[in-house]
Structure 1
């Protein structure tokens, strides 16, 4: 027997064995880390300042989710650039389940089509876990504005092309895009009046009669409607909302494409192991069943919801992003 050949064979087997051992160790260590997850506090990045809708959802969810997971959920507000600062930070965090991101319709579905320089590609850089909050849109008008429903609005605007204006809290806001989608579906010629500083200043000018109408979240407009300072022409849900049972949906009034909402959901950096994603999904689903969370959200006009699976949430985001991308392209909207 050729001894040099034998030695080469033995050495080859040794190298293969060592490689196999290394692979085994590499795969067993992450598995071990996953099995006792979580064993330290989890940071939830909220890409907006304290006090807003996303911060409200995060802080409402925080105690129950901490209880279920057995670790503290630490909320970290990283605002700036319409949520892009926080989203970029979260996307580049270590994918170990200890940094999560509370995304919303603006950051995840709208911003990628609005900001040409945005580095983050949400469905590539994140793994969607579950939606947690859903807030329908509400079409509101000044009480003195003649139309009282969507049919009357369409007739009124068509008789006055280019004369009726609508407000929004910014060029690329979901409020503006909801109106653009509706007016294209209805074939309306209207004037857009953008505002700075969120929906508050725009809503105030609708109440004051300086602008005729706008879309807002139901949580932003419901108290003004109930107080008679605004009137509601329609809601953007498939079914009527319990808080305003007498207000017909856009679908009921002949505009089935005008179904939209402002949502929040939890995502993890891409590469986060599937067992961790599954554990987080189960915890979120359980948390969203909590009666206190559901009641507090309902008081604010928000629905406490969860996704059947991470795959369902991913599909939801994709459909939402495709819808708003088409509207943005159609109107040529750019970031403010």
Structure 2
């Protein structure tokens, strides 16, 4: 090993797994391995969002076990910006050799193409879908100081305050915007004011400060404030209640409707990935998701793992979600220039 190689490995090993920097390393012990086998060098997992966010945390959590399954060093790189488009575009341009993967949300694969007027890639052709990992339901929350404790009470409040009722989202056309808008329509108050934010955490700050009426976010984000008593969880967007919050009902059961606003995370590779490498990666990812410790942690975060899918089932899932979110974006009427 030459000095440059030693310096590179030393630099990688010095970055903690859950650090708040732009890259982290999952570096398991590697046994003897022929240079001709895959993988035989560090792999880059691009997360197109900032460090410390839900997607980043889950990528690192799964990555710990995935690195052992592949017997490879995984370098987590955060390339945030433009709603995830910058990091996704970087992977779309990468060589399809299995050493650069994208771990992202439904936004990159099914939502942003309908929101942005132009993208530097087409997710339907730029990527090879590898595995859908988790579903990411969002939880409807209000501030405890509002006195609202049920979905019916929220609906009554919205109808009684049509000029001041407002909801916050992490940006126009995001899943949180769509969830809030669809709920307002189903509650019969379609004119509720939308307040978009550039930074998601500010939504909950303003919600607690009573500048907003309601908002949606993942349980991993709102759970601590619900437990502290600052926020009240009224409902969850998934079809089944979360094991992490079994007392919070689903919107489906409260409104007897199919709410259908649940996002998800997935691994993809650049299009053109060799079939045998794609199969090896799918098998490793699915094995990592079956790890009991990882599974329990995902359930605790309110982001349960999907059942394993075949390659064809994964492609069909991506295609169906692309169409579904396209219809939801059209319903919201959200379009912006990239």
TM range (shorter): 0.7 to 0.9
Counterpart residue number, 1:174 = 175
Distance 1:201 1:255 in 2: 32
Counterpart residue number, 1:317: 318
Aligned ranges for residues 43-58 of structure 1 at < 5 Å?
Answer: 43-58=44-59
Give ranges in structure 1 of 5+ residues lacking alignment. Answer: 1-32
Question: What RMSD over aligned residues (CA atoms) do the two structures have, in Å?
Answer: 2.1
User: Which structure 2 residue ranges, 5 or more long, are not aligned?
Assistant: 1-33
State the alpha-carbon separation in 1 of the partners of residues 332 and 84 from structure 2.
Answer: 22
Contact kept in structure 2, 1:135 and 1:303, CA below 8 Å: yes
Output the CA distance in 1 between the equivalents of 2:256 and 2:86.
36
- On the 8 A contact 1:137/1:217 being kept in 2, the answer is yes
Question: 1:153 & 1:296 partners in 2: Cα distance?
Answer: 32
Alignment of 1:287-302 (within 5 A): 287-302=288-303
What is the match of residue 248 of structure 2?
247
Deviation string, structure 1 residues 6-41 (Cα, Å, up to 9, x no partner): xxxxxxxxxxxxxxxxxxxxxxxxxxx9x9332332
Counterpart contact for 2:178–2:332, Cα < 8 Å: no
CA 1:329–1:259 in 2, change beyond 3 Å: closer, same or farther?
closer
Matches of 1:58 and 1:130 in 2, distance apart?
13
Once residues 156 and 258 of structure 2 are traced to their aligned partners in structure 1, the CA distance between those partners, rounded to angstroms, is 19
1:196 paired residue number: 198
CA distance in 2, matches of 1:115, 1:217: 23
Aligned length: 302
Give the match for residue 206 of structure 2.
Answer: 205
2:67 maps to: 66
Partner of 1:80: 81
Secondary structure of the 1:158 match is helix
- Give the deviation of 1:283 after TM superposition: 0.6
Deviation of 1:268 after TM superposition, in Å, equals 1.0
- Tell me, in whole angstroms, the C-alpha distance in 2 between the residues paired with 1:318 and 1:88: 19
How many Å apart are 1:130 and its aligned residue?
Answer: 0.8
How far 1:108 moved relative to its partner? Answer: 1.6
**Structure 1 residue 146 displacement after superposition:** 4.5
Secondary structure, aligned partner of 2:63: helix
Counterparts of 1:1-336 in structure 2, within 5 Å, are 36-188=37-189, 189-198=191-200, 200-335=201-336
Residue range with higher mean Cα deviation, 148-157 or 72-81: 148-157
Q: TM-score, normalised by structure 1?
A: 0.83
Report if the CA contact (8 A) 2:115-2:335 is conserved.
Answer: yes
Query: Within 1, Cα distance between the matches of 2:319 and 2:157?
Result: 35
Greater Cα radius of gyration, structure 1 or 2: 1
TM-score using structure 2 length = 0.83
Cα deviation, 1:131-167, whole Å, max 9, x if unaligned, reads 2232211000111334422233334323443431111
Any conservation in 2 of the 1:182–1:255 contact (CA below 8 Å)? Answer: no
Q: Deviations over 1:190-214 (max 9, x none)?
A: 111122222x111011112111111
Contact 1:47 1:77 in 2 (8 A): yes
Q: Structure 1 pair 158/320, CA: closer, same or farther in 2 (3 Å)?
A: farther
Give the superposition deviation at 1:269.
1.0
